[in-house]
Amino acid sequence: MFIVLGALASAETSTEKQNYAQAAMAIEKATKIMTYLSGAIMILETLVLADYHPLRVRLRDASGAQSRQIADAMAACRRIGTQLSTDMQRRELSFLTMYQAPDVHPTEHAFAEALTTLEHRCALFLFNHYKLATRILGSGSLGSLGVEVGTLVNRFVEPMHPALDQARYRYNVFTSFAYGRHAGTMVSELERADPVSSRLPAAVDENRIREVTSVYFAAMETMDIDRWVALFSKSGTVESPIGSRPFRGHAGLRVMFRNFMKAFAPSVVVTVRAVRIDAPRGYAEVDWQIDTSHQKMPITYAGTECFQFTAAGESHTSSYTMTPKKLLCKCCPRNERRACPSQKT
């Protein structure tokens, strides 16, 4: 660990000078050692409790994951990440832009990737230590330094570099919108097509259609996942957007709705602009507008939802027409819109 601390001290000095290539080399050295240590501690799996506990008692006040060296290494990693964030902000360069165009910002990208890999190795070391602690001490015990074993979980779960973590989340959201029409298409091409139901289309009472479509959007406003899912038949599907792999069945629909809540909660206002109903075919189209926010940024977007109903008046399929790129650009601050993925792929 002292070699790790030395490497991180060198990386910190290089980062202060914006010498990211040199800093990345030092971080990679620390990463190799943490990789070794993560595996080396697993030798404890070869010990039986009857042999190990007498040794453990003699080692009281010594620890791996709770040692001063690990704490110092984690603190150094965070300082280095903060230095990078500060420099990026000074240069008005966002991590999102860096991830979208690594060839334009190769030095910063390589440095951020080196930091992320080191974070993963530190997390692996802490995870292995935690699992060994529960294997030897039980999850309700105190470690050798008097720390609850269960509290070790947060140390390898919480991101070490929140700014990088947030940028990766935003990139995930943006690319999901940007490439939305391709979602799941590779999987769909490899599976057998579902048989077409002979029961569709079927005539449905117009009042029932109006009721379901009204509740559909009302449930979106209130983030009522149970009420929303209950509107669908057990084999109901949603294409989001049209042409993408549908979310199938109540379990799949819950996944889709949770994604919606994650991206836009807690405030959503839905305005229905027009409703077109073809009752003899059990079909409806609803033009809508949604006013909400993403990451505290106000967003307004619109589209058309298409519904196909079963004879029982349940929604069998739902799909919407809306260009994901339009929503994507609305989610991006102006200084990040150049980083928004295109839909050319």
Q: Give the CATH number of the domain where residue 334 resides.
A: 3.10.450.50
Report the pLDDT value the prediction gives residue 117, as an integer from 0 to 100: 96
Give the integer Cα–Cα distance in Å for 62 and 72.
16
Whether residue 61 lies inside any domain: the answer is: yes
| CATH at residue 45 | 1.20.58.480
Same domain, 107 and 209: no
User: Of the segments 130-144, 182-196, 197-211, which one has the largest average pLDDT value?
Assistant: 197-211
* CB neighbour list of residue 248: distance below 8 Å, 6 or more residues apart: 235, 236, 237
- In this prediction the pTM is 0.67
Residue-wise pLDDT for 27-41, tens only, equals 999 999 999 999 998
Same domain, 22 and 156: yes
Report residue 300 as tokens: 């307004």
SS3 content of the chain, % helix, strand, coil (to 5): 60, 15, 25
46-50, 193-197, 314-318: the lowest-pLDDT one? 193-197
**Domain's final residue, options 107, 141, 160:** 160
Same domain, 128 and 233: no
- In the predicted model, is pLDDT for residue 12 greater than 90? yes
- Give the chain's domain count: 2
Indicate the pLDDT class of residue 344, thresholds 50, 70 and 90: very low
Indicate the pLDDT class of residue 141, thresholds 50, 70 and 90: low
Whether residue 187 lies inside any domain: the answer is: no
CA torsion angle 143 147 151 157 (round to 10): -80
Report the pLDDT value the prediction gives residue 333, as an integer from 0 to 100: 58
| Mean pLDDT for the stretch of residues 88-92 | 92
| Mean pLDDT for the stretch of residues 129-148 | 67
- In the predicted model, is pLDDT for residue 329 greater than 80? no
User: Of the segments 65-79, 118-132, 220-234, which one has the largest average pLDDT value?
Assistant: 220-234
Same domain, 153 and 255: no
Same domain, 113 and 216: no
Same domain, 228 and 116: no
Same domain, 22 and 115: yes
Report the pLDDT value the prediction gives residue 317, as an integer from 0 to 100: 83
Report residue 64 as tokens: 């791996």
Whether residue 231 lies inside any domain: the answer is: yes
Same domain, 38 and 105: yes
User: Of the segments 136-145, 192-201, 229-238, 333-342, which one has the largest average pLDDT value?
Assistant: 229-238
| Mean pLDDT for the stretch of residues 314-327 | 69
Same domain, 296 and 202: yes
- In the predicted model, is pLDDT for residue 268 greater than 80? yes
Give the integer Cα–Cα distance in Å for 24 and 29.
9
- In the predicted model, is pLDDT for residue 198 greater than 60? no
| Mean pLDDT for the stretch of residues 166-194 | 73
- What is the average pLDDT score of the chain? 82
Same domain, 156 and 199: no
Residue-wise pLDDT for 103-134, tens only, equals 999 999 999 999 999 999 999 988 888 888 77
**Domain's final residue, options 111, 142, 160:** 160
Q: Are strands 247-248 and 232-239 parallel, antiparallel or unpaired?
A: antiparallel
**Domain's final residue, options 143, 160, 177:** 160
Same domain, 32 and 152: yes
241 cis-preceded (ω within 30 degrees of 0): yes
Domain enclosing residue 70, as ranges: 2-160
Same domain, 247 and 151: no
Whether residue 172 lies inside any domain: the answer is: no
Indicate the pLDDT class of residue 206, thresholds 50, 70 and 90: very high
Indicate the pLDDT class of residue 323, thresholds 50, 70 and 90: low
Residue-wise pLDDT for 271-298, tens only, equals 999 999 999 999 999 999 888 887 777 8
The counts of H helices and E strands in the chain are 13, 6
- In the predicted model, is pLDDT for residue 184 greater than 80? no
Whether residue 72 lies inside any domain: the answer is: yes
